[in-house]
Amino acid sequence: MKIVLDHITKKFPNINKKEKSEVTAVDDFSYEIPDGKLVALLGPSGCGKSTILNLISGLEKPTQGKVFFGDDDVTGLPAENRGVGLVFQNYALYPHLTVRENIRFPLENLKGDKKLSKEEMEEKVQRVAKLVQIEALLDRRPSEMSGGQQQRVAIARALVKKPKVLLLDEPLSNLDARLRLQTREELRRIQLETGITTIFVTHDQEEAMSISDYIVVMKEGRLMQKGVPQKVYDSPDNLFVAKFLGTPQINVFSGEIKDNALFIGKDKIRDGINSIDKKVYVGVRPEGFEPSKDGVLRCEFQKLEVMGRDASILSHNDNFDGTVIRSIIPSDTEVKTTGGEIVFNLKPWKTFVFDSVSEERILID
Ligand SMILES: Nc1ncnc2c1ncn2[C@@H]1O[C@H](COP(=O)(O)OP(=O)(O)OP(=O)(O)O)[C@@H](O)[C@H]1O
Ligand SMILES: [Mg+2]
């Protein structure tokens, strides 16, 4: 089922009651989540990700705007009638119940013609336990399982009522790196197998990029960019998104467009730019640098770090915004430096130009 968020704004009263101002957790946010897809909501802490999930689940009501499930306006519909499965940021299993009882819990209080017999409940529990591969653990208690197993129990519990929508709020945050990788692949498998429209919150951009059909990048309650992960990475709309996606981070230089050419300091990076003269930021992805003696950007060489397949060149340039320019090249590339200087060519498709005031992308090609 598709979900539509139509110009949603959510304001909370300021916790400090003496202050009149409100906190705007979500700011005029519009997005359509296509049926059966996995969408990752991505952004720094406090940008409104959990609030968006709570607005979809019905735990919060928007201050303005509407929520649609399919064509139905559910803005006023209570959470229990929305058919949403939710795994919270700090998922909590009931410690005194077994895995079976934990998963069965949402089925126990169904009323009227939805009421289930013991056998029906057991059958549903078995089915989801199988899906998340914990059939053998049904008689254990949460304390007798690993973090990843507990995670899967929480997901099974969210799935047992066959929700139309699955909302996962940082479901992997408590797992170690290895288990996290395994569990995220498993999550994707379950999502593909069930075809449930799923919204997944994370602040880990790699996690978001690796398992989702679409990503939505947020900042301070606003939608900054949405799209297929690789497309957003390859074509960021603004400096925030460019910086947010990619490890190591994009390298940002202050530069300018002058007489239809792009400069970083005195180095002319490119000719034939169709723009008025202005100050800009130039972002270059780490994989966008090619050492070349007749390159365009001169930097002070600091260090070469070889890490198996790749090597990382650390260098410095006076117009660089951060401490060290990090460029990544294949480890079998020969790196020549002369007098402590290294010269790079910049791959045009890995180089982005942003207005220095609005920080919006300027298309120069
Ligand atoms: N019930 C509330 N009352 C007041 N302010 C709130 C409430 N819930 C959230 N906020 C504020 O709204 C903003 C968005 O919060 P939200 O929990 O949605 O962020 P988040 O993106 O999920 O962050 P995190 O990654 O840390 O979980 C924050 O500034 C937060 O302090
Ligand atoms: Mg949150």
CA distances from 53 to 39, 143, 169, 170, 202 (A): 12, 28, 8, 11, 12
Atom of ligand 1 nearest to the CA of 203: 25
Mean pLDDT within 174-188: 81
Q: Which residue has the higher pLDDT, 245 or 162?
A: 245
Please name every residue paired with 301 in a beta bridge, in sequence order, or none if there are none.
315
Gap from CA of 51 to ligand 1 centroid (Å):
6
Q: Which residue has the higher pLDDT, 130 or 338?
A: 130
Ligand nearest to the CA of 43: 1
Residue nearest (by alpha carbon) to ligand 1 atom 31: 46
Instruction: Give tens-digit pLDDT for 276-297.
Output: 999 999 999 999 999 998 999 9
In this structure, what token pair is assigned to residue 97?
Answer: 């119940």
Atom of ligand 1 nearest to the CA of 47: 21
Distance CA 302, CA 312 (A): 11
**What pLDDT score does 216 carry?**
97
Nearest to 53 by CA among 184, 160, 165: 165
Please name every residue paired with 178 in a beta bridge, in sequence order, or none if there are none.
none
**What pLDDT score does 284 carry?**
98
Instruction: Give tens-digit pLDDT for 264-277.
Output: 999 999 999 989 99
The CB of 94 under 6 Å from ligand 1? The reply is no
Spell out which residues have Cβ within 5 A of ligand 2, the ion: 50
**What pLDDT score does 102 carry?**
95
What is the band of 91 on the pLDDT scale with cuts at 50, 70, 90? low
The CB of 59 under 6 Å from ligand 1? The reply is no
Gap from CA of 169 to ligand 2 centroid (Å):
7
Which 3 state secondary structure label does DSSP give 331?
A: coil
The CB of 217 under 6 Å from ligand 1? The reply is no
Distance CA 265, CA 268 (A): 8
